[in-house]
Amino acid sequence: MNRIYLDYAATTPVDKSVLKAMLPYFSQKFGNPMSIHSFGYEGEAAVEKSRKITADFLHCLPDEVIFTSGATESNNLAIKGFSKKYHFSQPGKKHFIPHIITTAFEHHCVLNSVKFLEESGQAEVTYLPVYKDGIVRVEDVKNAIRDNTRFISIMYVNNEIGTVQPIEKIGKLIKDINKIQSRLGGTEFKILFHTDATQAINYFNCDVQKLGVDLLSLSGHKFYGPKGIGALYVKKGSFIKRIQDGGDQEFGMRAGTHNVPGIVGLAEALAGIKTQSRGFGTKIKIMTSLRDYLISRVLKEIPEVKLNGSKKFRSPNNANFSLANVEGESLILSLNREGIACSTGSACSTGSLEPSHVLLALGLPPEEAHGSLRVSLGKDTTRKEIEVFIEKLKKVVKKLRNISGNVLKEYK
């Protein structure tokens, strides 16, 4: 059976060029970058070259790039690092609790981080609504800002439904507010703006200057790099402190021996996006067309199916559906038996029996949220694969509905 992979939002295969760049650093140039001998110098040179490549991609300074184990660590470092720095630097103002703004459908690593701060009394938190289309309103961000607002975290592209948030507009709003407060003498009033750009790197402009962000998280395995490596952009002067104790690696911001092969692989993957224009060129137009073809056929040929989130403001590789009278896990397992790999939501939530918090945030009832299907395309996905997938999906959905006794309208 030929297998078809349509779960690129969960992870991507390592590009051959990325693997080739990484290989020498496993067994030939294996030195620890912190060691002061020739083997260590080789590792250090590789890390710093990779840091510059990453900085060039993000349009920032090399020393504003902190390598981490992935986006989960980057998000934790950004959020908890802010809180730790804030409370550490103001021992005489413990009564003043900072206010954090985020959205109701962030990745769990963001939501759980801010909930930890909220429940431990370290922060007040506002969770913004995202409405039926899965888009945050800039006006809602503006209205949520208080005198004690110090941190805002809004994801660039949602990992489940692929909707794209107006990060640049929000960044301008925060910059303008910070400027006004600065002119009024409010030197302590500074809002940090963080975005989880994990699902955006491969498809959208991630120039941090253009976006107006102070912190940006990314993860290598989402854009054809290796797993276990990520980065956090930290704008100079940003108010965060390390959350992991140990050595002085990464400018004292992230203790632990460098994952040199992973760092080299991440940089090579980013360089591939930049040099091949994979994020802004012809391949994206082809992928968008393929996605629209997929959405159109599924909505037309399978009854009682709806697209979750905005069709206009969504990632070119994402299609997320709710199918009435179909249980999501059964659907994924049935498709897997047909050789099709998809997901029912975030890969990080697999095994949970709870309905998707993302779909609940859109206003879907739990029974609809349980019957979701995420189809995510990759750079090598073909039209033929999509056509095979659609036919298999029609077959599986009809079978599952027959088994449950929920036979709906005739299939086309």
Active site residues: 348
Q: Which residues pair with 39 in a beta bridge?
A: none
* H or E segment and range at residue 40: helix 38-58
Query: How far is Cα 400 from Cα 67, in angstroms, rounded to an integer?
Result: 45
CA of 341: how far to CAs of 7, 8, 10, 309, 313, in Å? 6, 10, 11, 22, 25
- Contact call for residues 317 and 286 (beta carbons, < 8 A): no
Residue in the structure block whose two tokens are 């910059």: 175
Q: Which residue, among 369, 393, 392, has the nearest Cα to 160 in the 3D structure?
A: 369
How many other CB atoms are found less than 10 A from the CB of residue 104? 16
Q: Which residues pair with 65 in a beta bridge?
A: 233
Query: How far is Cα 213 from Cα 170, in angstroms, rounded to an integer?
Result: 9
Query: How far is Cα 348 from Cα 106, in angstroms, rounded to an integer?
Result: 13
Query: How far is Cα 370 from Cα 229, in angstroms, rounded to an integer?
Result: 31
- Contact call for residues 174 and 191 (beta carbons, < 8 A): yes
